Amino acid sequence: MRSCLPGPRFVELVLAAALTLAAGPAAADDTMARADALFAEGVKLRDSNLELACAKFGESLQLNPQAIGVLLNVAMCDERQGRVASAVRRYRETRERAREQSFPEYLKAADGKLAALTPLVPHLSIRFEEPPAPQTKVVVDDQVVPLSALDDLPLDPGERTVVVSAPGRIAFERTVTLAQSERRELAVPPLQRPSSRRMIGKVAVATGAAAVATSLVLGYVANRRYERYIGATDDNGDPLCPEGPDGRICTDGDVYSHVQSARQLGNVGTIVGVAGVAVMLAGGYLWVFAPRQQAERPAAKAGAAAPEARKRAGVRVVPALGLTGGGLSIVGRF
């Protein structure tokens, strides 16, 4: 007969669920207690150590985002530390919550602060000289800004970093310094595609490195072959390439041909190695000095200047042959 009693696994699940439900309110109470403690610490430090007090208020707000009193103190911290745009944003949030929760004292305090601070907020307008490329992203101080909000950005005073990027394009980056109440406009030029010089530089460095590696292998093989035959002896133990007044002279025809082959192979390795180093240096120059940011690329002053510059600039990797060997050359105008 089958038992109708619950199994051990079912009992474990029921107990786990019960413990989770019981722990939920306890964990929430601990979080609220921690938030209240941090707020109390911030209040004590507000007059003696503003920076630390503001850090305490910020932590408390993270633990309890609905605390209107903590929010008001964080807004005051932003105001006293010169971040007027951040302060205005938080005072507006405080005002909305005060209306919803019927806190007239908070509403009055927020309205007074907004009236005084709103005229001090700097504004930045970001416009594109041409329609932006697909999937263009604008980031201001690590915060993504929608393209629809670029006409009028309220920002804190000081240095603000603007980065405009798009897939397959060179990013545009600019640092803008804003003063209180200042209104500025930032024009973003068309984002360029990656420089062909940079890509050619990478390819040239890889090609040169491969050539240097090949030259090392050729040199090793040539040296082993030369040492093997230059020291060869006959059946009596006499050297087949004895030392003469002008160096070693090989008396055996086969040994002589092997020694000459080793020398030629060594010469080829040397030529390949020198050519590889030259290509690496040229490629490294192109790679390092090619434009990385749109901001580094000066805008053309006249409409015909840009096409003319593109016509003058160019680079090619071509083979170079001569009586003593061969290699690669990089030819171009920059």
- Which of these CATH numbers, 3.30.1490, 1.10.3470, 3.40.50, 2.60.40, describes 123-188? 2.60.40
**Range 266-274 average pLDDT:** 89
Looking at the predicted structure, is the pLDDT value of residue 315 above 60?
no
Looking at the predicted structure, is the pLDDT value of residue 156 above 60?
yes
| pLDDT for residue 13 | 42
Percent of the chain at pLDDT > 90 equals 46
- Which of these CATH numbers, 1.10.3720.10, 1.10.10.10, 1.25.40.10, 3.50.50.60, describes 8-120? 1.25.40.10
| pLDDT for residue 292 | 57
Beta strands 158-165; 137-140: pairing state: antiparallel
What confidence tier does 140 reach under pLDDT thresholds 50, 70, 90?
very high
Q: Please return the burial class of 229, using the count of CB atoms within 10 Å of its CB with bins 0-12, 13-18 and 19+.
A: buried
What confidence tier does 24 reach under pLDDT thresholds 50, 70, 90?
low
More confident site: 307 or 118: 118
Mean pLDDT of the chain, nearest integer = 79
- Domain locations in the chain as residue ranges: 8-120, 123-188, 196-333
| pLDDT for residue 14 | 42
| Helices (runs of H) and strands (runs of E) counted in the chain | 8, 11
Window from 142-151, 229-238, 256-265, 271-280 with minimum mean pLDDT: 229-238
| pLDDT for residue 133 | 85
Nearest to 75 by CA among 46, 110, 118, 23: 110
Rounded CA gap, 277 and 212, in Å? 7
What confidence tier does 244 reach under pLDDT thresholds 50, 70, 90?
confident
| pLDDT for residue 25 | 60
pLDDT digits (tens, 9 = 90+) for 180-217: 999 999 999 999 887 677 777 778 888 989 989 998 99
CA distances (Å), origin 150, targets 128, 139, 147:
10, 11, 6
| pLDDT for residue 265 | 85
**Range 60-82 average pLDDT:** 93
| pLDDT for residue 327 | 52
Rounded CA gap, 171 and 269, in Å? 42
More confident site: 226 or 101: 101
pLDDT digits (tens, 9 = 90+) for 112-126: 999 999 999 999 999
What confidence tier does 83 reach under pLDDT thresholds 50, 70, 90?
very high
More confident site: 213 or 293: 213
| pLDDT for residue 158 | 96
DSSP one-letter code for 161: E
Q: Is it true that 8-120 and 123-188 share their CATH fold?
A: no
Cross-strand pairs, 239: 233
